[in-house]
Amino acid sequence: MDFELTEDQRALKATIREFAEAEVAPRAAEWDRQGIFPLETIRKLGDLGVMGIPFPEEYGGLGQGSFELAIVMEELARVDSSVAITVGANVSLGGAPIALFGTEEQKQRWLAPLARGEVLGAFGATEPGCGSDLQGTRTTAREEDDHWVINGTKAFITNAGTEMSAFVTITAVTGMRPDGRREISNILVPNGTPGYSSARPYHKLGWHASDTRELSFEECRVPRDHLVGQRGAGARQFLAVLDGGRIGVAAMSVGLAVGALEMALAYAKERTAFGRPIASNQAVAFKLADLDMEIEAARLLTYKAAKLRDAGRPFAREAAHAKLFASELAVRAADAAMQVFGGFGYIEESPIPRFYRDAKILTIGEGTSEIQRLVIARHLGCQVS
Ligand SMILES: Cc1cc2nc3c(=O)[nH]c(=O)nc-3n(C[C@H](O)[C@H](O)[C@H](O)COP(=O)(O)OP(=O)(O)OC[C@H]3O[C@@H](n4cnc5c(N)ncnc54)[C@H](O)[C@@H]3O)c2cc1C
């Protein structure tokens, strides 16, 4: 497996880095402080084509793959995780279910504008009572007069409530199986549908400039053809979507760790104590050396999962490896950067607290670290639950 970037991939990386440095880095602290969703920046990223990277050209995409998306996610998260997750959730959770399982009509109507960067899409699986365990889903959808009538609540949903948000695809119980388990299906609900409402954004620890809300459905009616994929296949489809999303979260984690290392390194070379730069102390320099090594390992795991996916080969185990290792590294990297910065690292005027606050969710969203270990252990043949 060759991980060398092609000329086009190097050019993509350079373009996104330039954009991130010029458009995102100077404003990220302000967006974070004030909880501003960066609408214009997200539109500009859409104009660059990033929302359509892995989608076919006939649906407004660039016809590239998970590998190119990983390159973009790393570069964005290197300067700001809120912008990165807005892109990642839009592509991997908003667009992917339709790209993977939607009808031709659904792809033209919902995927194409998302891929062109005109609208944002969301995916709503988590509820107040369940996240890791989809069988805990309580939201229901019953059939009535050629419609689905939806009732329930979704928690912590990304990208559903912005000015650009056009739809959310949800998991809903559409019946019971003969074995007594819930039959779960995916149904697309356009924004503005009567009975569908979203609450104010949550007050989160991090990702302050990303849109996260609770969604409510009360006798919310959507046409029967808003079913995405097969009836009853919603849980399987959701897990397939998540496998892909995990590569994006892994790439974000690498990016956050790179940003933290770069800041810590620059500070350690410049800050003096006891008459010399603090980087001259092995205790500081070795911390940075370990991060450099672990970032390389995390990036290679991420690239491997992306390459497997792009080659149409099984990649769930490798995506779990990448997500688990990289997200836990991101937390360690932010912690190490704060330690290197000393007291200034604890002050919000420095960029370190934003990275520190943004890192933790990477070990929780799109499958917690424990769920990644479950996935890997099952691939090893362990009957673990
Ligand atoms: C900012 C943010 C954005 C999000 N965006 C979205 C989104 O766009 N769409 C969406 O659907 N969801 C979204 N989520 C939800 C997120 O995916 C869930 O929070 C996550 O999957 C965990 O689910 P939970 O919170 O219900 O935790 P739980 O499932 O209740 O788990 C709680 C704890 O128990 C552990 N645990 C559970 N089961 C096991 C087990 N079998 N073995 C060992 N440990 C176990 C977990 O690892 C965790 O540590 C978002 C969350 C946040 C905070």
Does 156 sit in the ligand 1 pocket, CB within 6 Å? yes
Class of CATH domain 236-379:
mainly alpha
Q: According to the model, what pLDDT value does residue 379 have?
A: 97
Cα separation, 35 vs 87, whole angstroms: 17
What is the rounded average pLDDT of the residues 303-313? 98
Would you state the pLDDT for residue 266? 98
- Structure confidence at residue 93 as a pLDDT band (50, 70, 90): very high
Residue range 337-362, pLDDT digits in tens: 999 999 999 999 999 999 999 999 99
In this predicted structure, what is the pLDDT of residue 141? 98
Cα-to-centroid distance, 279 and ligand 1 (Å):
38
The CA-CA-CA angle for residues 237, 238, 244, to 5°, reads 95
C-alpha 252 to ligand 1 mean position (Å): 18
Express each pLDDT in 156-167 by its tens digit: 999 999 999 999
Ligand 1: nearest atom to the Cα of 202: 1
Q: Name the segment(s) of the chain with CATH classification 2.40.110.10.
A: 122-231
239 lines ligand 1 (CB under 6 A): no
Give the nearest ligand 1 atom to 89 CA. Answer: 8
Task: Give the helix, strand, coil percentages of the chain, each rounded to 5.
Answer: 55, 15, 25
Q: Between β-strands 165-176 and 120-124, what pairing exists: parallel, antiparallel or unpaired?
A: parallel
Q: Ligand 1 atom 26: the closest Cα is on which residue?
A: 131
Residues of the chain with pLDDT > 90, as a percent, come to 100
pLDDT category of residue 385 using cuts at 50, 70 and 90: confident
**Residue 364 CB–ligand 1 contact under 6 Å:** yes
* Whether residue 93 has its Cβ less than 6 Å from ligand 1: yes
Question: Any bridge partners for residue 217, and if so which?
Answer: 152, 196
Q: Where in the chain is the domain with CATH 1.10.540.10?
A: 7-118
The rounded distance, in Å, linking the Cα atoms of 80 and 16 is 12
Whether residue 109 contacts residue 134, with contact meaning beta carbons closer than 8 Å, is answered with no
| Other Cβ atoms within 10 Å of 24 Cβ, number | 24
The answer to whether residue 64 scores a pLDDT higher than 90 is: yes
Whether 75 has a pLDDT exceeding 90, the answer reads: yes
Question: Which residue minimizes the CA distance to atom 38 of ligand 1?
Answer: 132
CA atoms within 13 A on the CB side of 199: 14
Per-residue pLDDT tens for 115-125?
999 999 999 99
- For ligand 1, pick from 368, 369, 383 the residue to mutate: most ligand atoms within 8 Å of CB: 368
Q: Which atom from ligand 1 is nearest to the alpha carbon of 122?
A: 8
Q: Which of 271, 323, 263, 363 is nearest to 25 (CA)?
A: 263
Q: How many CB atoms lie within 10 A of CB 357?
A: 18
The answer, yes or no, to whether any atom of ligand 1 lies below 6 A from the CB of 125, is yes
Instruction: Ligand 1, residue 374: give the atom nearest the CA.
Output: 42
- Per DSSP, the residues of 282-334 read HHHHHHHHHHHHHHHHHHHHHHHHHHHHHTT---HHHHHHHHHHHHHHHHHHH
The CA distance from 268 to 279, in Å, is 5
Q: Model pTM? A: 0.98
Q: Is the CB of 331 under 6 A from ligand 1?
A: no
The one-letter code for the residue type at 241 is V
The residues carrying an active-site annotation are: 366
CA 225 to ligand 1 center in whole angstroms: 29
In sequence order, the 6+-apart residues with CB closer than 8 A to the CB of 65 are 53, 54, 306, 309, 310
Q: Is 212 in the pocket of ligand 1 (CB under 6 A)?
A: yes
CATH number among 3.40.120.10, 3.30.930.10, 2.40.110.10, 2.40.10.170, domain 122-231: 2.40.110.10
Task: State the distance from the centre of ligand 1 to the C-alpha of 43, rounded, in angstroms.
Answer: 29
Specify the residue with its C-alpha closest to ligand 1, atom 27. Answer: 131
Beta bridge partners of 153: 216
Which fold does the domain 7-118 belong to in CATH?
A: Butyryl-Coa Dehydrogenase, subunit A; domain 1 (1.10.540)
Nearest protein CA to atom 12 of ligand 1, as residue: 126
Domain with CATH 1.20.140.10 in the chain: 236-379
Q: How far apart are CA 168 and CA 123, in angstroms?
A: 5
Of all residues in the chain, the percent with pLDDT exceeding 70 is 100
Dump pLDDT digits (tens) for 232-284. 999 999 999 999 999 999 999 999 999 999 999 999 999 999 999 999 999 99
